[in-house]
Structure 1
């Protein structure tokens, strides 16, 4: 099986022996699924090609095994100070990334950047890179569930909904099975596309997704809806959470009457437009309470509520507990 010249650059940096080493800095509660979703396709590619094209290593801040979000820990991890400068480094995180990003980690990442390493992130690893100020001016992606909180925390960063994003020497990935798509992209880039197809066969998957594919299904697919006016209304609502549009504004933007808009929602979704809009705002608040360090007052404002008291009443009516109770439960 032929392999393209491994001296070419553009994605990853090759080692002196012609092999690409991917290093993964594991933060506590990282996503093990994301890690395995990257390394397994690379392992299979090596076997198909008949030589080592890719290798990988796991790093930790203290050299000890890191417990993943599933409660398991890999036996081996290398202390970041005992590792020669990683050429291709990915921060792998998941839950509570801000809590686990230390000043030592930030300093180490900045040092890597000065040495021109490729620096990436998986799932919520973008938090560590953002704290180190290594994402300014780059377009990035991360897991859709963490995106609202991340955008509230770093509103000046350019965040996309793509499965993975390559922007210069920054490579970010939404995690989960999107990590396999990124690995297959590397395989196709550095090996024949036939190799990537054979890896897909081994993984029993139908093929790769394009990096620009959306992480979440569209409203049309998720709700099995095809009415253009309702779909446009839902898109407008989803894009205007912090400053909600009035029903009359949505109707005007759709060039229909309020009465017609309400009739369409009742017919297809069994609720009024305002009720569905409130559900979207409550779901947004739920994610922010789970994944961000924003105060409840800040979350209320981010979800379009003019007062914390109003938000708290709505949240309790929707979820059966107060926002404060839910946050305490998540942090227990």
Structure 2
């Protein structure tokens, strides 16, 4: 329900603030006609117990500009043959598709994401990567790759929709919508979902977890890696092997990325100067900070506060409609 509401409400607010019918939406029950009541599509219960009344059955749903599928905690059981069939029908029409939270699993199950980058809630990342090796799963909050719009759960659909609103209605409208919802800033495709390290490496790797926590706690005055390894009872070589095996990154790069992402938070959420951020993130010179920042994010930190963070070229939809 939280993913569904966070996707829908920004569109309603955009209509309200613009005094235009920029967006309309409808909800589809994917069940086939012979599996639903003849009087209309059956309601579906969200994980919080509240029911949502679909407007159409799959066989009577009209065309739309984007079809989103929203998934919850038991998405595997919910992705029936009817759901797969519906998604393939819309894909066959050339309709752009989206996944909210675990709804991305439905698109993957339907075979529609091979070769695409996409996002899904962090709890599902490890297992779904094994199941669908042809799909490029990202740890980003949301991903727009050509005609596929996918995002993680919770409040991430709000950020995805705000970015879509910015495409269609302009930056001012998107900012106005975010202000109505008391959103401090609109996150973009450079932002990643926070993935608890335990969910990525599993139990039994306390030394690796301790090392990662140690890094997060020592951003301003970073430790040398050999000292850090000693702190958690490992040799530097052992530490490097653990990071490479379970996180597919060197400890040095992981530490650097942590410091750079903390720097981005400072730039976006405070009035600190680039030099002040440089010092706060443990860099000896602003030139090193700026070079590393550009390498990770694609532009200099001085541009961060003026960056529009525009999305990759895509035809702005005339309307965005959701499917549960």
Relative to the length of structure 1, the TM-score reads 0.59
Q: What secondary structure sits across from 2:7 in the alignment?
A: helix
* Residue 178 of structure 2: aligned partner: 200
Per-residue displacement from partner, 1:188-209 (whole Å, max 9, x unpaired)?
A: 1111211111111110111201
Number of the residue aligned with 2:168: 190
| Structure 1 residue 111 corresponds to structure 2 residue 80 | no
SS at match of 1:211: coil
Aligned-pair CA distance for 1:35: 0.9
The aligned runs of 1:147-296 (5 Å cut-off) are 147-216=125-194, 223-226=216-219, 227=222, 229=225, 230=228, 237=242, 240-241=245-246
Q: Does the 8 A contact of 2:29 with 2:54 survive in 1?
A: no
**Does the alignment pair 1:50 with 2:19?**
yes
Question: Does the CA-based 8 Å contact 1:163-1:213 persist in structure 2?
Answer: yes
Which is further off, 93-102 or 114-123? Answer: 93-102
Tell me, yes or no, if structure 1 residue 73 matches structure 2 residue 51: yes
Give the structure 2 partner of residue 64 of structure 1: 42
Counterpart Cα distance in 2 of 1:154 and 1:128? 12
Aligned length: 216
Structure 1 gap ranges (5+): 1-31, 255-332
Deviates more, 1:66-75 or 1:43-52: 66-75
**Counterpart mapping for 1:85-96 below 5 A:** 85-96=63-74
Q: TM-score scaled to structure 2, two decimals? A: 0.60
Post-superposition offset of 1:42: 1.1
Superposed CA offset, 1:60-93 (max 9, x none): 1232111111111123442111211333101100
Please report how far the alpha carbon of residue 212 of structure 1 lies from its aligned counterpart in structure 2 after TM superposition: 2.5
Question: How has the CA–CA distance of structure 1 residues 144 and 90 changed in structure 2, closer, same or farther, with 3 Å as cutoff?
Answer: same
After superposition, the C-alpha distances for 1:243-262 in whole angstroms (9 at most, x for unaligned) are 9x9xxxx8xx87xxxxxxxx
Partner of 1:159, secondary structure, is: strand
2:53 aligned counterpart, secondary structure: coil
The 2-side partners of 1:91 and 1:185 are apart by 18
Secondary structure of 1:55 counterpart: coil
Deviations 1:154-188 (A, max 9, x none): 12211111111111111111121110001100111
The 10-residue stretch of structure 1 (101-110 or 196-205) with the greater mean CA deviation from structure 2: 101-110
What does residue 102 of structure 1 align with?
A: 80
CA 1:174 to 1:107, structure 2 compared with 1: closer, same or farther past 3 Å? Answer: same
Q: Is the 8 A contact 2:101 2:152 kept in 1?
A: yes
Of structures 1 and 2, the one with the larger relative CO (CA 8 A, separation 6+) is 2
Find the counterpart in structure 1 of residue 288 from structure 2.
Answer: none
- Is the Cα–Cα contact under 8 Å of residues 64 and 77 in structure 1 kept in the other structure? no
Q: Is the 8 A contact 2:30 2:86 kept in 1?
A: no
Work out the CA distance in 2 between the residues paired with 1:198 and 1:37.
Answer: 16
The alpha-carbon distance between structure 1 residues 101 and 209, as it changes in their structure 2 partners (threshold 3 A), is same
Name whichever of 110-119 and 76-85 sits farther off. Answer: 76-85
CA distance in 1, matches of 2:15, 2:7: 13
Name the stretch that deviates more: 209-218 or 165-174: 209-218
